[in-house]
Amino acid sequence: MSITAVFIDTNWFLQLRDLKDLRWTELFPEAKHIEVMVAPVVISELDKHKVGSSDRRRNRARAALKTIDEASMLEDETLVLRERGPKVTLSVAPTAKTVRDHGLNPDSADDNLVAAMMEFGSDAVLLSHDTGPRISARRAKRTAFAPPDGWLLPDESSDDRKKIARLEAELKLLRNKSPELKVEFANAERGRIGLLSYRMPKLSEKRIERLSNAYLSGNARQTLTMGVSTYRQAVPNIYTQAEVDEYNRQYDKFADDVRRYFDNLHSRIERISRAPRLDFAIVNLGGVSAKDLVVELQAEGDLQMLADAGERSRTLGSFELPTAPKPVNVHMRMVGLASNSIQTSLRSIERHATRDPTSVLWIDRPGLGGRAGRYGCEDFRPGRVFVDTVFLLSPSLPCTGTFKIVASASDSPSVENAIDVTIGKSEIGWDDPVLQDILPEVVVELLVRENTD
């Protein structure tokens, strides 16, 4: 019997159709038996995703872990997923023992997977949805494949969109002639939600240098033209010596700030992730507006509250990269003064404009590390779904507490929803998928592109 041993990465469980349903003959036309090997590092990654913020990833991670657990309880630790066409089995692979001997990084989950495949046998094949592991395997003269497009699951909608779609479906069934308020928390299960704060190692000096240089190359220092003209106010691209010197001084500071950003990125992640996000929605399922809506937020136990992302940035810092300076001359300053004058006039008009009765506005905004807040809306229209986010903070981790929301209106009874919240700590590496949900896209792209030491 032709047996093909394949090692799969974490995304194979999260982003692809079920193993028993894949058309394995597309990659292995001669195989009679596909032996799917799950490395211990993949199990560790799945354990992280089982408490993640994405519904689909969380559910698929839990289903995968259940299947792997079933296999581990069998005498030969092999579970049959499909009997024929070809036969597909799942087994737990041994932990890689000599990662460094293969020229790989033992701190990298991807490299541990490649090492486990290499130690299993020369005929083992790597299947990965990520480019990095496939390149590492091929450099070691091993076979590696990406999944065919038809094996991938459909694009995942955001949790908010899925929740909105479900609530809109309920709206059609429950629409009536009175408001009906509902409070829901994203990703809560049976009145509980687990959130995580992250800790990770410092980037290596070489990688800090590469990341800094890569970002600076995309924001290169400009070469300015100096000159003197009685018409400089009308010539935007002519600069005095003083203006050139000031721009160069600002750019030098910008370059230092970029290097400092990557040098301290690990501690920035640890600090900011101490206040994970909690998403919730207020919905009017009824057929008429809820008048004078009041929404009360209450954090209890070890929990404190930050009202929004801006409050978190002001309190704990931001993930945004430094912004490159722009050269400024007399012409630009004149344009800037005119623009500021226009903006001031517009803000004055806005202050005197009639307030939109459908706006949701703070009545009592929670202060720094506060435990309670209220906002309201004069006219909360039928079918409206108001999605909002707060960030939860605690003086020490891990911690537990309760977060409660009460929504009421003058023409509707109050509704309440409370969940038990746990904020734990997790050690992660720089190749962990969770960083895609934490860091700006430009930072994630740089980390992926410069992922070598």
Residue 375 tokens, joined:
């906002």
Beta strands across the sheet bearing 192-199: 192-199, 412-427, 399-409, 290-301, 372-380, 361-364
Residues 292 and 381 in one domain: yes
* Residue 273 located in a structural domain: yes
User: Is residue 186 located within the same domain as residue 115?
Assistant: no
**Whole-angstrom Cα distance, residue 81 to residue 87?**
8
Does 328 reside within a domain?
Answer: no
pTM for this entry: 0.58
Which domain does 129 fall in, by range? 3-152
Q: Is 85 left (phi over 0), alpha (psi -120 to 50) or beta?
A: left
**108, part of any domain:** yes
CB distance 292 to 409 below 8 Å: yes
The secondary structure of 160-190, three-state, reads HHHHHHHHHHHHHHHCCCCCCEEEEECCCEC
202 found inside a domain = yes
Domain match, 305 and 441 both = yes
Q: For residue 336, tell me if it sits in a domain.
A: no
CA dist., res. 72 & res. 92, Å (int): 7
| 313 inside domain | yes
pLDDT tier, 332 (very low <50, low <70, confident <90, very high otherwise): low
Q: Sign of torsion, CA 107 119 434 183?
A: negative
Cis status, amide bond into 179, omega within 30 of 0: no
The CATH number of the domain holding residue 373 is 2.60.40.10
Q: Provide the number of structural domains found in the chain.
A: 2
d(CA 317, CA 343): 28
Q: Cα separations (Å) of 184 from 181, 393, 405, 425? A: 10, 20, 9, 25
Query: Using one digit for the tens of pLDDT, what is the confidence trace for 45-77?
Result: 999 888 877 778 888 999 999 999 999 999 888
Kindly report, residue by residue over 266-290, the tens digit of the pLDDT.
Answer: 999 999 999 999 999 999 998 899 9
Domain boundary among 152, 183, 216: 152
Same-domain check for residues 362 and 289 = yes
Averaged over 320-331, what is the pLDDT? 84
pLDDT-based confidence at residue 392 (cuts at 50, 70, 90) = very high
